[in-house]
């Protein structure tokens, strides 16, 4: 598959409920005609699978139009969009979604513009709508959301059968207004609770650098792979290099929902030699399908520092790619909790009537060929904080990372 003139969605999980400008991120493909209305049933043969009998669909269509009691409620375009949506859902992929014209317009506005939100990224996991990551210093984080929280209701409405995009529409809104999310945390037996959040325009810090253990350890938190991240990471890296006391680095990718792949490869250049493999993009599942390799290009200025990486359930997409590359290529230990498992690429296809299809076209593999999708990355040292730990501001994951790094420094 040619990548010329194509820009894919490398965003972590479909839509971020924040106010940022994502810029480009889609491939607008050339497509055939789609009838605006099925009135008169045109283009019936277009794209029809050769060995599949569609008579059931047309029979059901005819019977519905013949028998349904409220004929005036049967709108042919609505029936068509519902049928297409049902077909797309049959793929079983929460990231492959059909948008009727109005939803398509809203989706593009969400990804290219600014809007009020709560500062959390959401996705689907095992049929549940979940918090992928509450972003740093946002209403969602201050309100107590945690990565992995299941969203059962939005303003009292169940989320069982809604898509991520539909949930986003319900959660976002005018700045200063409030939204109530009913969330379930933990395993069976846990009780759901309501959290009321006030919507706001969100500004997220990209990096935060702290000094630990008598200036020996640089604790570098990295929150998102946005278009401005390379510049901000460069500033943080320059501070590390200019501080003679630093002997090791803890790279903190917890609650980093990812972002652009190109940014992940750019950041990787600080930790790898030029030409080192960072990630593999695989189209299709067979070995014959095309694979694209992404390699580091940079000076590797931080590659000689002993290092540990912190991850959790909110580590997704580009953040998982970087963490996986550091472990595969440099045997760097991951500490924390299992990552989210968002390792796929979506392509946005526009149709003539204003509707669109967001379809998964590829998956990401680590340098050793491990698929990130669905499974995520298992940490080398699994540390799962309890609610009591969180309430007392105990960071057992960071404590473990410091312990491991100190042992490395004392060898």
Please tell me the pTM assigned to this model. 0.74
Look at 5-14, 314-323, 332-341 and tell me which has the smallest mean pLDDT.
5-14
When pLDDT is averaged across residues 335-347 and rounded to a whole number, the result is 91
Q: Which pLDDT tens digit goes with each residue over 186-242? A: 765 678 999 999 999 877 778 999 999 888 999 999 998 888 899 999 999 999 999
- Which pLDDT value is given to residue 288? 63
Which pLDDT value is given to residue 105?
77
Give first-to-last CA distance, the chain, whole Å.
Answer: 48
pLDDT tens digits, 67-125:
999 988 999 999 999 999 999 989 988 889 999 988 887 766 554 444 568 988 888 88
CA torsion through residues 190, 192, 196, 201, sign? positive
Give me 329's structure tokens.
């290529």
- Interacting residues of 82 by C-beta distance below 8 A, sequence separation 6+: none
Residue 174 has pLDDT above 50, yes or no: yes
pLDDT at 13 over 50: no
Question: Mind listing the domains of the chain with CATH numbers?
Answer: 115-198 (2.30.42.10), 207-342+364-409 (3.90.226.10)
Which residues are known to be catalytic? Answer: 317, 328, 342
Q: Report whether pLDDT(29) > 80.
A: no
Write the CB contacts of 308 (distance below 8 Å, at least 6 apart in sequence): 248, 249, 250, 251, 332, 333, 335, 401, 404, 405, 408
Q: What is the mean pLDDT of residues 139-148?
A: 91
- The H or E element spanning position 389 is helix 387-391
Res 116: pLDDT: 67
Whether 360 and 14 have beta carbons less than 8 Å apart is answered as no
pLDDT at 189: 63
- Residue 346: pLDDT over 60: yes
Choose from 187-191, 287-291, 390-394, 407-411 the range with maximum mean pLDDT: 407-411
* pLDDT-based confidence at residue 3 (cuts at 50, 70, 90): very low
The confidence score (pLDDT) of residue 108 equals 65
Please tell me whether residue 207 adopts helix, strand or coil conformation: strand
Neighbouring CB atoms inside 10 A of 72's CB total 6
pLDDT band at 259 (very low <50, low <70, confident <90, very high): confident
| pLDDT for the residue 182 | 96
**What confidence score (pLDDT) does residue 373 get?**
87
User: pLDDT category, 46, cuts 50, 70, 90?
Assistant: low
Q: Could you list the beta-strand ranges (E) of 162-317.
A: 178-184, 193-198, 207-212, 217-222, 248-252, 277-282, 291-295, 307-311
Residues 6 or more apart whose CB falls under 8 angstroms from that of 355 comprise 34, 81, 84, 98, 99, 100, 101, 104
Which of 35-39, 84-88, 137-141, 164-168 is predicted least confidently? 35-39
Listed range (103-117, 318-332, 346-360) with the worst mean pLDDT: 103-117
């Amino acid at each position: 598959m040619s990548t010329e003139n194509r820009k894919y969605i490398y965003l972590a999980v479909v839509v971020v409920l924040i106010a940022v400008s994502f810029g480009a991120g889609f491939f607008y493909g050339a497509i055939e005609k789609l009838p605006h209305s099925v009135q008169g049933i045109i283009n019936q043969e277009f794209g029809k699978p050769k060995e599949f009998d569609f008579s059931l669909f047309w029979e059901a269509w005819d019977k519905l139009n013949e028998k349904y009691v409220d004929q005036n409620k049967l709108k042919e375009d609505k029936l068509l969009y519902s049928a297409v949506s049902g077909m797309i859902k049959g793929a079983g992929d929460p990231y492959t979604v059909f948008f009727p014209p109005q939803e398509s317009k809203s989706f593009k506005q969400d990804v290219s513009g600014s809007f009020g939100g709560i500062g959390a990224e959401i996705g689907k996991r095992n049929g549940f709508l979940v918090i992928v990551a509450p972003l740093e210093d946002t209403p969602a984080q201050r309100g107590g959301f945690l990565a992995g929280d299941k969203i059962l209701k939005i303003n009292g409405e169940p989320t069982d059968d809604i898509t991520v995009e539909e949930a986003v529409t319900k959660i976002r809104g005018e700045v200063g207004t409030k939204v109530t999310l009913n969330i379930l945390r933990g395993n069976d037996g846990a009780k759901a609770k309501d959290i009321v959040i006030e919507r706001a325009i969100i500004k997220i810090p990209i990096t935060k650098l702290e000094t630990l253990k008598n200036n020996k350890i640089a604790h570098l938190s990295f929150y998102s792979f946005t278009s401005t991240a390379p510049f901000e990471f460069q500033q943080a890296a320059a501070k590390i290099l200019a501080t003679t006391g630093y002997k090791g680095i803890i790279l903190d990718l917890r609650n980093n929902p990812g972002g652009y792949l190109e940014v992940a490869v750019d950041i990787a250049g600080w930790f790898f030699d030029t030409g080192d493999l960072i990630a593999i993009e695989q189209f299709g599942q067979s070995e014959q399908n095309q694979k694209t390799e992404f390699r580091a290009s940079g000076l590797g200025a931080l590659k000689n520092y002993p290092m540990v990486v912190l991850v959790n359930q909110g580590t997704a997409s580009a953040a998982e790619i970087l963490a996986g590359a550091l472990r595969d290529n440099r045997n760097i230990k991951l500490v924390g909790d299992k990552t989210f498992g968002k390792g796929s690429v979506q392509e946005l296809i526009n149709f003539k009537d204003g509707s669109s299809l967001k379809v998964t076209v590829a998956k990401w593999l680590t340098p050793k060929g491990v698929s990130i999708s669905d499974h995520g990355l298992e940490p080398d040292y699994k540390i799962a904080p309890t609610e009591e730990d969180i309430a007392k501001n105990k960071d057992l994951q960071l404590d473990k990372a410091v312990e491991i790094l100190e042992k490395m420094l004392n060898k």
